[in-house]
Structure 1
């Protein structure tokens, strides 16, 4: 069985794809999956489902929802994956698959490949991670602390994958084809200085020194207007290196 929570929720087994229409039950099961193999206290589950003002009989309602989830996940001959463990409940993943775990594995694999200089493999891992997490999470998934933290983690992880993918492709000498993507990314994420640095370097390596310096001024203006800050030291150093055509900016030649 495979759980998919990085987009529209669904459970996939040999009989096909299954989903849950009831929002509160879907929120509950998603929380248990985000915290798979960990005990989630009853009070925390109630907050995720009903917020800070739960109904008087919220605990009884939670028990009903847990029972419905157990029925939904029941498979002949298989053990119940949802266990009662004081002070709450635990979803045991066991041999089942969870797309979130696959995403974590791909990101860690990409980081390791990048550190080891295996940029082709790193690019492939980051591309697969971005494809896996491409679907938008449902708007009605809830905004309790666990799911809010999950949303934030997913956004930041996707941005890290984008930045590391750009970096890996730069190391492979693909700077010319990255210029358009980096212009778009700096527009979508104007405060991410890493993306501005990558755009400047891609332009410089493409023989567009004037455009690289203009990209620096654009980033500087944005940071000043939005945050009242000057660009970080990396950006400032890169600007100076571009002005002097520092040979250290050239793409390293493989040994």
Structure 2
């Protein structure tokens, strides 16, 4: 089986794709996947399921959800269930099963290394493949406990970082025109993320749209000031001044380094 957590949680078994419709069972499954091969205590699981508002029969409820999850993961051709009871809690054993997350992280790491070596075509390929593993946004039903909430924040940030590194790699390859539409969309969805404004300004300037690039700066400045009372970061301010001065170095594909 293949567990997919890069998007709505699902299990892939051959040509079959299975989803959990019960929110509590989905949260339980997510916690055990996040901590795969590690024991998660009942107290940790109950906190993820109910927070500080534990029902009177929380322990009994947890047992019911564990049973439902085992039924969901049961396969006739397998003798052992991946959800096992340990002395101090519960654990999901991977065995020969796979999880999509390690592959995503490995591809991102490869892309980052290739970008630092200035192999931007290969780096772009790795970032594209990493993002291609996602089959949708993380669901809001995943949970917001200490384990699931922290995981969701980290994974969402990792995905956005991968997108930004892919954009920088494509800028290095001179593919600025094809990036503009996507960057407008991403900056609208993430209005406080200054890297996206920088990338959009550079793509517009290289596409002979200087006025639009400066307009993006003004919009970014206004948004940051209204939301946080802050001025744009130095990178954005320096880029604005370079655009105003028609600095020819902006047309060099070396001005958009990948972190």
TM-score bucket (shorter structure): 0.7 to 0.9
2-side partners of 1:137 and 1:230: how far apart?
31
Structure 1, residues 84-129: CA drift from partner, whole Å, max 9, x if none? 3343222122321112222222222222222222222222222233
Give, in whole Å, the separation in 1 of the partners of 2:133 and 2:94: 19
Q: Deviations over 1:119-164 (max 9, x none)?
A: 2222222223323224133343333222222222232122212211
For the pair 1:187 / 2:188, whether they are aligned, the reply is yes
Partner of 2:246: 245
Q: In the alignment, which residue of structure 2 is the partner of 1:48?
A: 48
Tell me if structure 2 keeps the 8 A contact 1:82–1:90: yes
Contact 1:173 1:251 survives alignment (8 Å): no
Residue 23 of structure 1 aligns with which residue? Answer: 23
Q: For residues 136 and 106 of structure 1, what CA distance do their matches in structure 2 show? A: 19
Question: Is the 8 Å Cα contact of residues 10 and 18 (structure 1) preserved in structure 2?
Answer: yes
Q: Where does residue 211 of structure 1 map in the other structure?
A: 212
In 2: Cα distance, 1:101 partner to 1:36 partner: 12
Gaps in structure 2 of 5+ consecutive residues: 255-259
Q: Does the 8 A contact of 1:196 with 1:216 survive in 2?
A: yes
Report if aligned partners of 2:198, 2:236 keep a CA contact under 8 Å in 1.
yes
Unpaired runs of 5+ in structure 1? none
- CA positional deviation for 1:198: 0.9
The alignment's TM-score, normalised by the length of structure 2, stands at 0.86
String of CA shifts for 1:50-96, please: whole Å, max 9, x gaps.
22112222223323332343343344455442233343222122321
Q: Following TM superposition, by how much is the alpha carbon of 1:47 offset from its aligned partner in structure 2, in angstroms?
A: 1.2
Residues 90, 178 of structure 1: alpha-carbon distance in 2 compared, 3 angstrom cutoff: same
Question: Against the structure 1 CA distance between its residues 89 and 176, is the aligned structure 2 distance closer, same or farther, given a 3 Å change threshold?
Answer: same
Query: For structure 1, which segment, 54-63 or 71-80, has the greater mean C-alpha deviation from structure 2 after superposition?
Result: 71-80
2:8–2:135 CA contact under 8 A, matched in 1 = no
**8 Å contact kept, 2:174–2:253:** no
Measured against aligned partners, the alpha-carbon deviations of 1:10-43 in whole angstroms (never above 9, x if no partner) come to 2222473333333322221111001112222211
Once the 2 structures are TM-superposed, how far is the Cα of residue 216 of structure 1 from its aligned partner?
1.9
Residue 182 of structure 1: how far off its partner (Å): 1.9
Q: CA deviation at 1:187?
A: 2.1
Q: How big is the shift at 1:249?
A: 1.9
Q: Which residue of 1 aligns with 2:257?
A: none
How many residues end up aligned between the 2 structures? 253
1:89-168 pair list within 5 angstroms: 89-168=90-169
CA apart distance, 1:235:
1.1
Q: Do the aligned partners of 1:41 and 1:86 also contact (CA within 8 Å) in 2?
A: no
- 1:197 to 1:213, Cα distance in 2 relative to 1, 3 A: same
Shift, 1:167, TM fit: 0.7
Structure 1: how far apart are the matches of 2:90 and 2:126? 33
Deviation per residue, 1:141-195 (Å, 9 max, x gap): 3332222222222321222122112111101101122222222222222211111
Confirm or deny: 8 A CA contact 1:42 1:88 kept in the other structure.
yes
Greater alpha carbon shift after TM alignment, 108-117 vs 134-143: 134-143
CA contact (8 A) 1:114 1:168 kept: yes
